């Protein structure tokens, strides 16, 4: 027994994320664990995310209007391209010493998330005041979460997705949270919450002074049906090529490097499974005989049979690869992807090529190195073991309950 005080009723836990599925999906295993422990969970977001929430088995609460992400991006970014955003500061460091113009470019990127927070805030607060949750669990870019928690006087639990790049932007995020808090007459709302639920293996994570609750990463990519061809082992070494669900939507089709990777793999004795969104799959056209295009196939179904993973560097993709002990070749495009990738490559479990170095020859050489070398597989195994040693979501439910129901002080 943990010794935690047992609450006299199930907790009410309000989870919240703005309407972008890759920001909600990492929260799902914790939502399952809370429900399995007998607690009541509601997930608040814009209406567009409701099908994703209900597909995950949770109750959706619509807050705020749906926004046109393209319009928000165009308005808030004001001509700034994502590939032109400065790199994040070194792990654990601050942006405070940056020149104002450099800070402003980062501020405009995070302002996109703030547009969603402004649209959600009033409805989220109204629902929370009616339902009276004991805890608010929030995606790290859903700034309305910690503000509403502060308004209710309950703990705010920040649930990150992996390498904590939002901590690197804490100075910028803090300004947006302060402005939202001011709308409610609040001051000193911590944008980093009361505690951070952290699914990142410690060797990949950045140094910081935060109070963290380590939790084992569990892959969840939405509803899935296992295809027939995955009922048997692969006949050749299998490479999984993916590009996440967001990168093309954010940067446009011209930044996708899938054809380059396929050309690099053409001369190798491998099978390539292209697990991308249906839109990215349709853009590929005809492919070689050793390529299988599997639109919307969840990574956790195909990776157990793979000898290598090639991708864009999103936290979810990185950690799903870690979970399955697969050496990875990362081709990051966006600033957060480059930051995640640097932390991953430092573990020795994979390789990376910056955008300017992605050529057919360079990708082929990296693939051969990953496939034929044993060191990457061994280090991927070490990283997997570190991830598996972290507490399960079920194991941290008692810690979250203790936040909401402190142990009584006896005189």
Nearest to 34 by CA among 405, 394, 403: 394
Which residue segments constitute the domains of the chain, with CATH numbers given?
Answer: 12-216+390-404 (3.40.50.2000), 228-388 (3.40.50.2000)
Burial classification of residue 343, based on how many CB atoms lie within 10 Å of its CB (0-12 exposed, 13-18 middle, 19 or more buried): buried
The tens place of each residue's pLDDT in the chain, 411 residues long, gives 444 455 568 999 999 999 999 999 999 999 999 999 999 999 999 999 999 999 999 999 999 999 998 899 889 988 777 767 888 888 888 888 888 888 888 898 899 999 999 999 999 999 999 999 999 999 999 999 999 999 999 999 999 999 999 999 999 999 999 999 999 999 999 999 999 999 999 999 999 899 999 999 999 988 999 999 999 988 899 999 998 665 545 555 455 588 899 999 998 999 999 998 888 888 888 888 899 999 989 999 999 999 999 999 999 999 999 999 999 999 998 888 999 999 999 999 999 999 889 999 999 999 999 999 889 999 999 999 999 999 999 999 999 999 997 654 444
For the record, the structure tokens of 207 come out as 């140094």
Nearest to 276 by CA among 303, 308, 243, 312: 243
Burial classification of residue 27, based on how many CB atoms lie within 10 Å of its CB (0-12 exposed, 13-18 middle, 19 or more buried): buried
Report whether 221 contacts 275 (CB < 8 A).
no
């Amino acid at each position: 027994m943990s010794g935690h005080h047992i609450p006299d009723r199930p907790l009410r836990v309000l989870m919240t994320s703005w309407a972008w599925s890759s920001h909600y999906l990492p929260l799902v295993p914790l939502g399952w664990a809370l429900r399995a422990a007998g607690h009541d969970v509601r997930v608040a977001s814009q209406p567009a995310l409701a099908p994703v929430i209900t597909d995950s088995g949770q109750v959706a609460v619509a807050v705020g209007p749906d926004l046109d992400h393209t319009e928000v991006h165009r308005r808030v970014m004001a001509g700034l391209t994502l590939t032109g955003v400065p790199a994040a500061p070194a792990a654990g460091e601050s942006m405070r010493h940056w020149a104002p113009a450099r800070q402003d470019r980062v501020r405009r990127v995070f302002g996109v998330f703030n547009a969603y927070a402004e649209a959600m805030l009033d409805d989220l607060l109204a629902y929370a005041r009616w339902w009276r949750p004991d805890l608010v669990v929030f995606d790290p870019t859903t700034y309305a979460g910690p503000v509403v928690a502060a308004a209710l006087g309950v703990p705010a639990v920040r649930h990150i997705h992996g390498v904590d790049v939002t901590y690197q932007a804490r100075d910028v995020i803090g300004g947006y949270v302060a402005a939202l808090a001011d709308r409610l007459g609040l001051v000193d709302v911590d944008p980093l919450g009361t505690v951070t639920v952290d699914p990142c293996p410690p060797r990949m994570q950045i140094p910081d002074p935060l109070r963290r609750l380590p939790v084992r990463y569990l892959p969840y990519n939405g509803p899935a049906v296992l295809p027939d061809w995955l009922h048997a082992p692969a006949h050749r070494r299998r490479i999984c090529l993916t590009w996440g669900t967001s990168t093309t939507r954010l940067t446009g089709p011209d930044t996708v490097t899938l054809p380059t990777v396929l050309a690099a793999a053409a001369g190798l004795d491998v099978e390539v499974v292209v697990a991308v969104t249906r839109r990215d799959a349709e853009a590929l056209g005809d492919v070689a005989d050793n390529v299988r295009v599997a639109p919307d196939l969840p990574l956790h179904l195909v990776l157990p049979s793979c000898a290598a993973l090639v991708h864009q560097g999103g936290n979810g993709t990185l950690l799903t690869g870690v979970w399955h002990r697969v050496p990875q070749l990362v081709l990051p495009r966006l600033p957060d992807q480059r930051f995640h990738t640097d932390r991953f490559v430092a573990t020795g479990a994979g390789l990376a090529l910056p955008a300017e170095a992605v050529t057919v020859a360079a990708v082929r050489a990296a693939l051969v190195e990953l496939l034929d070398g044993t060191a990457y597989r061994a280090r991927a195994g070490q990283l997997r073991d570190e991830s598996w040693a972290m507490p399960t979501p079920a194991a941290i439910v008692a810690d979250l309950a203790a936040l909401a129901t402190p142990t009584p002080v006896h005189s």
